[in-house]
Chains A and B, each alone.
Chain A
Amino acid sequence: MKNRIIAFIFTVAALTAPAFAQTAQLPAPSPIEKELAARASNVDEITLDKNTLAFASRFMNGKDKDKTATKQLIDGLDGIYVRDYEFDKEGQFTTEQIEQLRAHYVSAEWSSIVREREHNGRESTDVMVKIVNGKTVGMFILDVEPKEVSIVLILGPIRLEDLNKLKGISGLDGALGGVEFNTKAPDKKSGDQ
Chain B
Amino acid sequence: MRRLLIFSVVFAVLLVPVAVLATGDGSFDGVVRSIESRYHVHATRIPFMGLISLVAGKSMQAAVSNMHVAEFENFAGPVDGDELNRMIEEKLGADWKRMIRETSRRGNEQTLIFVHPEGERMGLFVVDLDGHELDVVQVSVNADQLNKQLGQYEHHQNAHRLPDRD
Interface of A with B (CB < 8 Å)?
37-38, 40-49, 51-52, 55, 58-59, 61-62, 171
B103 touches A (CB below 8 Å): yes
Tell me whether A47 and B122 are in contact in the complex, defined as CB-CB below 8 angstroms, given that A42-B105, A58-B143 are known contacts.
no
Whether B115 lies near A58 (C-beta < 8 A) is no
Q: A38-B82, A59-B143 are in contact. List 15 more A-B contacts (CB 8 A).
A: A41-B104, A42-B104, A43-B101, A44-B100, A44-B101, A45-B101, A46-B100, A47-B99, A47-B100, A48-B99, A51-B115, A52-B122, A55-B143, A58-B143, A59-B150
- Which residues of chain B from 99 to 140 have a CB within 8 Å of any chain A CB? 99-106, 115, 117, 122
Whether A61 lies near B102 (C-beta < 8 A) is no
B24 touches A (CB below 8 Å): no
Docked CA distance A30–B100 (Å):
17
Q: A56 → chain B, closest Cβ, in Å?
A: 8
Q: What are 15 A-B contacts with C-beta separation under 8 Å?
A: A42-B103, A42-B105, A44-B100, A45-B101, A46-B100, A48-B99, A51-B115, A52-B97, A52-B115, A55-B122, A55-B143, A59-B143, A59-B146, A61-B144, A171-B100
Q: Is the interface of A mostly helix, strand, loop or mixed?
A: mixed
Residues on B with C-beta less than 8 A from A44 are 100-102
Tell me whether A52 and B99 are in contact in the complex, defined as CB-CB below 8 angstroms, given that A43-B81, A58-B144, A59-B147 are known contacts.
yes
Docked CA distance A104–B86 (Å):
24
Residues on B with C-beta less than 8 A from A40 are 105
Interface of B with A (CB < 8 Å)?
81-82, 97-106, 115, 117, 122, 143-144, 146-147, 150-151
Residue of A nearest to B112 (CB): A45
Docked CA distance A25–B102 (Å):
23
Residues on A with C-beta less than 8 A from B106 are 41-42
**Max count, chain A CB within 10 A of own CB: residue among B81, B122, B151:** B122
Residue of B nearest to A84 (CB): B102
Q: A138 → chain B, closest Cβ, in Å?
A: 20
Whether A43 lies near B122 (C-beta < 8 A) is no
Residues on B with C-beta less than 8 A from A59 are 143, 146-147, 150
Residues on A with C-beta less than 8 A from B99 are 46-48, 52
Q: Closest 8 A-B residue pairs measured CB to CB?
A: A58-B143, A45-B101, A55-B122, A43-B103, A42-B104, A51-B117, A41-B105, A44-B102
Residue of A nearest to B116 (CB): A51
Q: A149 → chain B, closest Cβ, in Å?
A: 15
Residues on B with C-beta less than 8 A from A37 are 82
Residues on A with C-beta less than 8 A from B82 are 37-38
